[in-house]
Chain A
Amino acid sequence: MPPILELRGITKRFPGVLANDHIDLTLNQGEIHALLGENGAGKTTLMNVLYGLYHPDEGEIMVRDKPIRITSPRDAIAQGIGMVHQHFMLIPVFTVTENVMLGDESITNGVVLDRKKVAGEIRELSTKYGLEVNPTLYIKDISVGIQQRVEIIKLLYRKADILILDEPTAVLTPQEADDLFQVLRNLKARGNSIIFITHKLREVLALADRITVLRLGKVVGSTEPKNTNSAELARMMVGRSVILSVDKEAAKPKDVVLNVQNLVVRDERHSIAINDVSFQVRAGEVLGIAGVQGNGQTELAQALTGLRHVESGRVTVLGHETTHATPRQLFELDVAHVPEDRQQDGLVMSFPVEDNLVLNEYYRPPFAKGIVLNFDEIEKAAAERVREFDVRTPSIFVKTANLSGGNQQKVIVAREFTGPIKLLIASQPTRGLDVGSIEYIHKRIVEKRDAGAAVLLVSNELDEIMSLSDRIAVMYKGQIIDTVNAAETTKEALGLLMAGVHGDGKTPALQPQTPEQKAETHHQ
């Protein structure tokens, strides 16, 4: 049987980058084909070409043995190709039904939207594929896991039988991911063909029928799960052997550095994002904060680094009161911060690299004298830091926006890790970075720990949390549901905690209220 989809010599150039270099790929009917590669390897670009969002510079696309031209998503949909994007393409203020029907609406009486009919079709698809959703709910009111189901239903509603899923598990707990895998196997069994994009080796080996590995825009090779293993796949992805686990000795915790007591913080919409959180981080240990995205981790890091107002509670660093401290006051206390969104909060993208390298201490000697900056000193320090932290940049005068994501992150690390830091708060320190950069940044974090810094690590990557942390606190709905010893826990146990299921099987693990408090709550 000929392949249902074939890409031949797809090439896509962006200014200065060859994102896809003569890529060949075939997808057979009824198979799950994993597209594996690091961030920046060109996976998403390739799929955007296939979906008509980018136009290839060279190459040919064959669907069901016929060459076709795809110039817009509309063409792709017409060919039965559907895509679940990494960032969901859902409209929060629309209902599930409206999101599903958009672009392919059912109409009655000539002009009126037929919401009822589409809702019925959604219910049918739901039961057929085990994708339970309520079509009348608004997207803003449903969880990320269910939103993903809506995305898949969108494709099925359009009768797509070639499904592309771009990093679908990034926002899911391990258990939700397993559910998704079951749905995908279900879809496969009914004859759909699936391209599954990921950089997670575990998923590839668990799910795929065939694997194609991309590196730097080229196909490195194709294989099948039974003929390979994690180490080999990692080597194909990166191009050299990688140490998948972080080498570190047992922690030797000393004095308490960061002490958080009964912290309460609100989010942008003024609802409580952090609800009475208390914990301590000691010198020489890494405390990892795990949790599904959106359970208060972001707000926690922001509150502790002076970027978000603390509603109540108390925070101290080495005994100094820092509950309402500004970022500069924290810097003066030797607190380093790697922010979650490096382009938004970590760097001034239009500044040259050298300025970003001293952005935290430009105001004091030797970089400034009074109100005048000393550019010679800044240049000297910047050059030194670029060398020490291996920032790959043509010069220190280049605009930071022109650096790759990994090198931008290294600029932040170079800035924050210089000097005697006592507390490091790192939020998603390796998000979107290639394996090489991840390895490097992990090594640096462990170095800082061993040098006696207290480290608070917030990350959505469970692998990262597990390999770097000495203790792991799991956040669920704004509270720390449990804190476990990293050496003694398993991924499954953490996954359950992330879903709000406590170790003893009870949900959720909030402490019981006294009758008096209950009465008060009731009174509200």
Chain B
Amino acid sequence: MIGMVATSVMRKASDLAQQQRWIVGGVIVVVGLLCVWFFGFQAPADAVSKYRFSGGGDPIQLPTLELPTATTNLILSLLLIAFGIYHLVRGLKNSAVLFGVVAFLLLAIFLTWSIRGASLNMTGLLESTLIRSIPFLLGALSGIMCERSGIINIAIEGMMLTAAFVSVIVGAFTDNLWLGLAAGVVSGALIAGVHAVFSIRFKVDQIISGTVINIFAVGMTNFLNLRWLTVNQELNDSGTFAKVPIPILSQIPVLGTILFNQIVLVYVALLLMFFVNFLLFQTRWGLRTRAVGEHPKAADTLGVDVFKIRYINVIFAGMLAALGGAFLTLGSVGRFDKLMTNGRGFIALAAMIFGNWNPFGAFGASLLFGFMDSLQLKLQILTSVIPSEFLLMAPYLATMVVLAGVVGRVRPPAAEGVPYEKQ
């Protein structure tokens, strides 16, 4: 009797899973059929899509991949259909693999179709993917340091915007990019300090504190930009960091261009990713940080200073976000434009969540968003079929899709957002 009810309950649960499998698998197959029809049969029969891997000046030249557009897309679409059928019949346990394979195939199909009769520099695309993912990565690392200690950081956007602004002005005024960078980092730390005092000392709702900082940063930079920078144009021209190729390593085809011929800030950001991971999971400070973010009272009863840990983490987080902001100016365009962060702080927040508050996971998500960001730029140049306004949405759409898929699968720190009160 007992066993029967128990199994019937379990069966219900598995029924649901099976239903879900059928729906997902069915959708994949239908999408695959649409791809066959549109990207396969509707594509011009004689068009060729070229993927290039080497730039003109590279010492080692790699062959260009030339694919007949229609045939390639037919094959890729059939692969997609086969994959959908496999999921229908056998069922894939790992949803990340499912998502990854489907997204890869769809992108490949779309990309091959978009560059029909033209060529795409893949190395360039991947290089710009990495560069564009750096602000997301730094913002996400900022969020991770802050939230792992239990303070919600919705102010990444504001910290980035402020630092972008400050670093340009100081960089231009002193004619020294490093001083500009330092000033940007200090500004981030100061703003984070305000967030820390609000959240920790005055126990203000952390979402509200973060929102206030974002609004303040937008208003302040807009005002100063309009009233001051537009009349003193020379202060809004800092120049940018030069690329520092790493000897030998930068000569490796494709990989060298992508990874080892970048400005110093890119290397720093990647090292910071390893550093934050090491700090959080292998050191005393990290153990205490995570303890404070999970159960501050327990940490307190063991003599851990909850407030000190939170203050330092929040301020460090501000500095990380500031690096991301300075990267947008000193690292790429060398001037400040109003609202130039353009929601990147929030995408970084999404990357943090998608990465389950882990640095490497967040980097993976950052790469995805960075890829969408650079892809839309390339496509704007390559294709005129899709209005550029829609292409501009790509990174944000990717964020929404990713966040929707990730809901319920990740777990934020337990004490996040709850001010700690000693008796």
Q: Hey, which bits of chain A sit against chain B, CB under 8 A?
A: 48, 51, 53-54, 72-74, 77, 83, 85, 89-94, 98-99, 101-105, 107, 111-113, 154, 262, 264, 272, 275-276, 311-313, 479, 510-511, 513-514, 517-518, 520-521, 524
Across the interface, do B303 and A72 meet the contact criterion of CB distance under 8 Å?
yes
A120 to B309, CA, bound (A): 28
Across the interface, do B291 and A89 meet the contact criterion of CB distance under 8 Å?
no
Q: Do A113 and B283 contact each other (CB < 8 Å), given the known contacts A272-B6, A513-B3?
A: yes
A487 to B222, CA, bound (A): 79
Interface-located stretch among B9-17, B88-96, B165-173:
B9-17
Instruction: Tell me the smallest distance from the CB of B412 to a CB of chain A, in Å.
Output: 11
A83 to B300, CA, bound (A): 12
Across the interface, do B7 and A521 meet the contact criterion of CB distance under 8 Å?
yes
Across the interface, do A262 and B5 meet the contact criterion of CB distance under 8 Å?
yes
* Contact among B7, B283, B304 with A524 in the assembled complex (CB-CB below 8 Å): B7
In this complex, what residue of B is CB-closest to A93? B294
Across the interface, do B9 and A479 meet the contact criterion of CB distance under 8 Å?
no
Instruction: Tell me the smallest distance from the CB of B346 to a CB of chain A, in Å.
Output: 27
Across the interface, do B11 and A524 meet the contact criterion of CB distance under 8 Å?
yes
Q: B15-28 toward A: CB 8 Å interface, digit per residue (1/0)?
A: 00000000000000
A33 to B298, CA, bound (A): 25
Which residues of A sit under 8 angstroms from B290, Cβ to Cβ?
91, 94
Across the interface, do B3 and A103 meet the contact criterion of CB distance under 8 Å?
no
Which residues of B sit under 8 angstroms from A513, Cβ to Cβ?
2-3
Which residues of B sit under 8 angstroms from A312, Cβ to Cβ?
5, 8-9
Across the interface, do B5 and A85 meet the contact criterion of CB distance under 8 Å?
no
A104 to B283, CA, bound (A): 12
Which residues of A sit under 8 angstroms from B14, Cβ to Cβ?
524
B interface, by DSSP: helix, strand, loop or mixed?
Answer: helix
Which residues of B sit under 8 angstroms from A107, Cβ to Cβ?
284
Across the interface, do B291 and A91 meet the contact criterion of CB distance under 8 Å?
yes
Known: A262-B1, A262-B5; 14 extra A-B contacts, CB below 8 A, are A73-B300, A89-B295, A89-B297, A89-B302, A92-B294, A93-B294, A111-B282, A111-B283, A113-B283, A154-B302, A276-B6, A513-B3, A514-B3, A520-B7
A interface, by DSSP: helix, strand, loop or mixed?
Answer: mixed
Residue B4 at the chain A interface, CB threshold 8 Å: yes
Q: B281-307 toward A: CB 8 Å interface, digit per residue (1/0)?
A: 011100110110011011111111000
Across the interface, do A104 and B302 meet the contact criterion of CB distance under 8 Å?
yes
Q: Do A311 and B304 contact each other (CB < 8 Å), given the known contacts A93-B294, A514-B3?
A: no
Across the interface, do A102 and B2 meet the contact criterion of CB distance under 8 Å?
no
Residue B423 at the chain A interface, CB threshold 8 Å: yes
A51 to B220, CA, bound (A): 48
Across the interface, do A91 and B298 meet the contact criterion of CB distance under 8 Å?
yes
Interface-centre pick from A83, A91, A520 (highest chain B CB count, 10 A): A91
Across the interface, do A98 and B287 meet the contact criterion of CB distance under 8 Å?
yes
Across the interface, do B304 and A113 meet the contact criterion of CB distance under 8 Å?
no
Across the interface, do A89 and B298 meet the contact criterion of CB distance under 8 Å?
yes
Across the interface, do A511 and B9 meet the contact criterion of CB distance under 8 Å?
no
Across the interface, do B5 and A90 meet the contact criterion of CB distance under 8 Å?
no
Which residues of A sit under 8 angstroms from B300, Cβ to Cβ?
53, 73
A276 to B304, CA, bound (A): 46
Q: Do A511 and B299 contact each other (CB < 8 Å), given the known contacts A103-B288, A103-B304, A311-B9?
A: no
A-B contact pairs, 30 of them (CB 8 A): A48-B423, A73-B301, A77-B302, A89-B295, A90-B295, A91-B290, A91-B295, A91-B298, A93-B411, A93-B414, A101-B287, A103-B302, A103-B303, A103-B304, A104-B303, A111-B282, A262-B5, A264-B9, A276-B1, A312-B5, A312-B8, A510-B2, A511-B2, A513-B3, A517-B3, A518-B3, A521-B6, A521-B7, A521-B10, A524-B11
A97 to B18, CA, bound (A): 40
In this complex, what residue of B is CB-closest to A519? B7
Which residues of B sit under 8 angstroms from A77, Cβ to Cβ?
302-303
A102 to B7, CA, bound (A): 42
A510 to B2, CA, bound (A): 8
A90 to B298, CA, bound (A): 6
A264 to B10, CA, bound (A): 11
Task: Give the size of the chain B interface in residues (CB under 8 angstroms).
Answer: 33
A521 to B1, CA, bound (A): 13
In this complex, what residue of A is CB-closest to B11? A524
Closest 3 CB pairs of A and B: A103-B302, A74-B303, A89-B298
Q: B357-372 toward A: CB 8 Å interface, digit per residue (1/0)?
A: 0000000000000000
Across the interface, do B3 and A102 meet the contact criterion of CB distance under 8 Å?
no
A79 to B5, CA, bound (A): 56
Across the interface, do A53 and B2 meet the contact criterion of CB distance under 8 Å?
no
A395 to B287, CA, bound (A): 50
* Contact among B10, B294, B301, B414 with A53 in the assembled complex (CB-CB below 8 Å): B301
A53 to B411, CA, bound (A): 30
Q: Do A479 and B2 contact each other (CB < 8 Å), given the known contacts A91-B291, A272-B9?
A: yes
A103 to B300, CA, bound (A): 9
Which residues of B sit under 8 angstroms from A51, Cβ to Cβ?
301
A74 to B301, CA, bound (A): 8
In this complex, what residue of A is CB-closest to B1? A511
Q: Do A102 and B304 contact each other (CB < 8 Å), given the known contacts A89-B297, A94-B291, A94-B294?
A: yes
Interface-centre pick from A99, A517, A518 (highest chain B CB count, 10 A): A517
Which residues of A sit under 8 angstroms from B294, Cβ to Cβ?
91-94
A275 to B7, CA, bound (A): 11
Which residues of B sit under 8 angstroms from A264, Cβ to Cβ?
5, 9
Across the interface, do B6 and A112 meet the contact criterion of CB distance under 8 Å?
no
Instruction: Tell me the smallest distance from the CB of A115 to a CB of chain B, in Å.
Output: 9
Instruction: Tell me the smallest distance from the CB of A28 to a CB of chain B, in Å.
Output: 25
Across the interface, do B291 and A102 meet the contact criterion of CB distance under 8 Å?
yes
Across the interface, do A275 and B287 meet the contact criterion of CB distance under 8 Å?
no
* Contact among A54, A89, A276 with B301 in the assembled complex (CB-CB below 8 Å): A89
A513 to B283, CA, bound (A): 51
Q: Do A83 and B291 contact each other (CB < 8 Å), given the known contacts A105-B284, A311-B9, A511-B2?
A: no
A73 to B305, CA, bound (A): 10
Which residues of B sit under 8 angstroms from A276, Cβ to Cβ?
1-2, 5-6
Across the interface, do B301 and A111 meet the contact criterion of CB distance under 8 Å?
no
Across the interface, do B302 and A521 meet the contact criterion of CB distance under 8 Å?
no
A102 to B295, CA, bound (A): 12
Instruction: Tell me the smallest distance from the CB of B293 to a CB of chain A, in Å.
Output: 10
Instruction: Tell me the smallest distance from the CB of A83 to a CB of chain B, in Å.
Output: 7
